[in-house]
Amino acid sequence: MAGSSFGECLKITTFGESHGEAVGVIVDGVTPGVELHERDIQIQMDRRKPGQSAVTSPRNEYDIVHIVSGIYEGKTTGTPLTVILYNKDMRPEAYDDIRESFRPGHADYTYLNKYGLRDHRGSGRASGRETAGRVAAGAIARKLLERRGVQVVAYTKEIGGIACRTFDESEIERNPVRACDPEAAAKMVDKVVQLASVGDSCGGIVECVVRGVAPGIGEPVFDKLDAELAKAMLSIGAVKGIEFGAGFAAAAMQGSEHNDAMSADGFLTNHAGGIAGGISTGQPIVFRIAVKPTSSISVPQHTVRVDGEERIIETRGRHDPCICPRIVPVVEAMACLVVEDMYKRQAALRN
């Protein structure tokens, strides 16, 4: 109800503010008896952390995974699995200037209107830092999906108007923007570094592919697999849109072109993006998300104070000039959570 939980059978609840004592997550409904170690989670946390390269924030927010419950002798117990990440390198004083002002592009104004008060330090719950708990939970879901033969991979497809033209999965983790095309990646890095140098930021497009999902996964009507994925992705702060398969291009297609015909060997195309009627077809699930340019920039901007007076604001601090590379593990985490949850829902229906 209050929005900090996600999932039905595999349910996560995140907690913690950007500049509070800790952030973290409880994962309830984990299959018992599955081997799980802190390093399984740490690997994913390290992909999300800032300071990985010139294109990410230099904050030293290094997250050490701490499992507090739900593991016994190296295996999941089936009880709530809690991961805590204590906040380090907090500099709340860096935010004193913005205590009484609304930063453009941020949730300052809306949080104040919703709650009647706000924790102004680093956006509180609206901070990207909240996603640390999601990535931890996603790493657990990924372990459960491995047993089903499901793989989830996301990557940057476009940044600041520069699009990937080739796809080489092995390149993704080798370049700082996590793009699937090394040539495009180099241009993207140049563009981001240049924008960062003038205190500005840019957006991009991230694509995600889920392979190995059996046909028949997903619920009909309201909890369609694509509907749940859409909710999951739009729940990530910087995401402003999502499309499946042919996506918005389908708007200009004809049925005879868009329909995925079948042969004895299976589907001949995948315009649907691996989902029909909200249920997996067995083909790869493919979707893309639109990532807005990071709101925190040091270019002067017009805004107002809490008392309504106009002012010019220059957000200082250490921020990501483009969030795409760091959003990639968050997208994967949320996709893992949705798909594993849907497998469990299917088990409930059929058993």
Select from 96, 100, 149, 253 the one that contacts a second copy (CB under 8 A).
253
Structural contact between residues 220 and 305, judged by C-beta atoms closer than 8 angstroms: no
The answer on whether 48 is annotated among ligand-binding residues is yes
DSSP state of 269: -
Q: Which of residues 101-120 bind a second copy (CB under 8 A)?
A: 102, 104-107, 109-119
Of residues 118 and 142, the one with the C-beta less far from a second copy: 118
The answer on whether 293 is annotated among ligand-binding residues is yes
Taking the C-alpha atoms of residue 17 and residue 120, their distance in angstroms, rounded to an integer, is 10
Q: With residue 75 as reference, give the H or E element that holds it.
A: strand 75-76
The answer on whether 134 is annotated among ligand-binding residues is no
Structure tokens at 294: 């990071």
258 is a site residue for a second copy (CB under 8 A): yes
Using alpha carbons, select from 88, 8, 107, 95 the residue that is nearest to residue 45: 88
329 is a site residue for a second copy (CB under 8 A): no
Using alpha carbons, select from 108, 46, 314, 325 the residue that is nearest to residue 202: 325
The answer on whether 125 is annotated among ligand-binding residues is yes
Q: Which of residues 204-243 bind a second copy (CB under 8 A)?
A: 204-205, 214-224, 226-235, 237, 240-243
The answer on whether 345 is annotated among ligand-binding residues is no
Select from 58, 69, 166, 314 the one that contacts a second copy (CB under 8 A).
69
Other Cβ atoms within 10 Å of 224 Cβ, number:
18
Of residues 170 and 282, the one with the C-beta less far from a second copy: 282
160 is a site residue for a second copy (CB under 8 A): yes
Of residues 282 and 317, the one with the C-beta less far from a second copy: 282
Taking the C-alpha atoms of residue 323 and residue 328, their distance in angstroms, rounded to an integer, is 9
Q: How far is the CB of 209 from a second copy (least distance, A)?
A: 16
Diameter over CA atoms, the chain: 68
Q: Residues 6 or more apart from 89 whose CB is under 8 A from it?
A: 59, 60, 61
194 is a site residue for a second copy (CB under 8 A): no
The answer on whether 53 is annotated among ligand-binding residues is no
The answer on whether 281 is annotated among ligand-binding residues is no
Measured in whole angstroms, the distance separating CA 190 from the mean position of its chain's CA atoms is 24
Q: Which of residues 121-140 bind a second copy (CB under 8 A)?
A: 123-126, 130
Q: Residues 6 or more apart from 250 whose CB is under 8 A from it?
A: 258, 271
Stretch that binds a second copy, among 39-47, 165-173, 197-205, 325-333 (CB under 8 A): 197-205
Q: How far is the CB of 142 from a second copy (least distance, A)?
A: 17
197 is a site residue for a second copy (CB under 8 A): no
Q: How far is the CB of 288 from a second copy (least distance, A)?
A: 8
Q: How far is the CB of 130 from a second copy (least distance, A)?
A: 6
Q: Which of residues 280-319 bind a second copy (CB under 8 A)?
A: 280-282, 290-297, 299, 301-304, 308-310
Q: Residues 6 or more apart from 279 whose CB is under 8 A from it?
A: 215, 216, 217, 218, 219, 220, 224, 225
DSSP, residue by residue, 298-331: -S-EEEEBTTS-EEEE---S---S--HHHHHHHH
Q: How far is CA 187 from CA 89, 166, 192, 307, in A?
A: 32, 14, 9, 44
Of residues 149 and 220, the one with the C-beta less far from a second copy: 220
Size of the site for a second copy (CB under 8 A): 152
Q: How far is the CB of 97 from a second copy (least distance, A)?
A: 16
Of residues 51 and 300, the one with the C-beta less far from a second copy: 300
Q: How far is the CB of 159 from a second copy (least distance, A)?
A: 8
Residues making up the annotated binding site for FMN are 125-127, 277, 292-296, 318
